[in-house]
Amino acid sequence: MNAVVIIPTYNEAQNIAWIVGRVRNAVPDASVLIVDDGSPDGTGELADGLAANDAAVAVLHRAGKEGLGAAYRAGMRWALERGHDVIVEMDADGSHRPEDLPPMLAALDKADVIVGSRWVPGGGVVGWPLYRKAISRVGSAYARFALGVPVRDMTGGYRVFTADALERIDLDAVLSQGYCFQIDMLWHAQVAGLRIREVPITFPERERGNSKMSGAIVLEAMLRVTGWAVGSLPARMRRAAGKQQAAAGVR
């Protein structure tokens, strides 16, 4: 498979060479695209140095910080334009372990979208306090039930998509940023009828640099999910009624 691992960065100078090296060791046949949002700490320049020394590494420079969703959409369009048939989302801080990627890629034989999941049997987190686990689990559960997407880790950002899946999702319709972008992508995947599968991963807390997560990002996600759920309720009720009628006809 012609895979590319997209790593969005903003002030990840401490991590970028370390994480790219781990990716290249874990999946030597995959390419790496670093999408840097004008990091003032020199991450972009370090990324250029990595690309100069490894033909499998490329860098997409963006003018400034516009959010995780915008960075991933730009990287995904870049990958599709260059003919990559498998596209991976991965954070730069090491919480998404490159060593977990081979089984995620192998699972594509039965799915269009792979979610690296912390909340299925075999998955988990390391170094999180109880309140962070609760926030993640409750947020995922709320999004799962509100939107009708049968995925236990709705907010995790370690994902693998086929090129066909991204084409069917329609990236122009996914406008969310940050924490909410991951929910938005899975909701669009569900609406598009794509096969989604979760593969267990271990998610360690970042060791270096600062997290971009905030309470405002979580609140934005929950408000957006509520709006989507209310807006899609009539269509979901029609689909459910249609399934009941079809089942009654079979009987």
Strands (DSSP E) found in the chain: 3-9, 31-36, 57-61, 86-89, 113-117, 124-126, 159-162, 196-200, 202-204
According to the model, what pLDDT value does residue 49 have? 98
**Pair 189, 79: CB distance under 8 Å:** no
For residue range 197-247, list pLDDT tens digits in order: 999 999 999 776 555 555 566 666 777 778 777 776 666 556 555 655 666
What's the confidence (pLDDT) of residue 43?
Answer: 97
Per-residue tokens: 16: 């970028």
The confidence score (pLDDT) of residue 51 equals: 98
Quote the pLDDT of residue 240.
54
Per-residue pLDDT tens digits for 108-151: 999 999 999 999 999 999 999 999 899 889 989 999 999 989 99
How far is it, in rounded angstroms, from Cα 146 to Cα 166?
Answer: 23
Per-domain residue ranges of the chain = 3-250
* Ranges 34-38, 41-45, 130-134, 228-232: which has the least confidence: 228-232
Range from 73-87, 143-157, 235-249 carrying the lowest mean pLDDT: 235-249
* HSE-up of residue 59 (Cα within 13 Å, Cβ side): 24
Please give the share of the chain, as a percent, with pLDDT higher than 90. Answer: 71
Burial of 202 (0-12, 13-18, 19+ CB in 10 A): middle
The set of residues, in sequence order, having a beta carbon less than 8 Å from that of 4 and lying 6+ positions away, is 30, 31, 32, 33, 79, 82, 84, 86, 87, 88
Instruction: Give the count of beta carbons closer than 10 Å to the beta carbon of residue 11.
Output: 18
Report DSSP state, residue 122: T
Query: Residue 170 above 70 pLDDT?
Result: yes
Give the gyration radius of the chain's Cα atoms: 18
Report the distance separating Cα 194 and Cα 165, nearest Å. 7
pLDDT given for residue 1 in this prediction: 79
CATH architecture of 3-250: Alpha-Beta Complex (3.90)
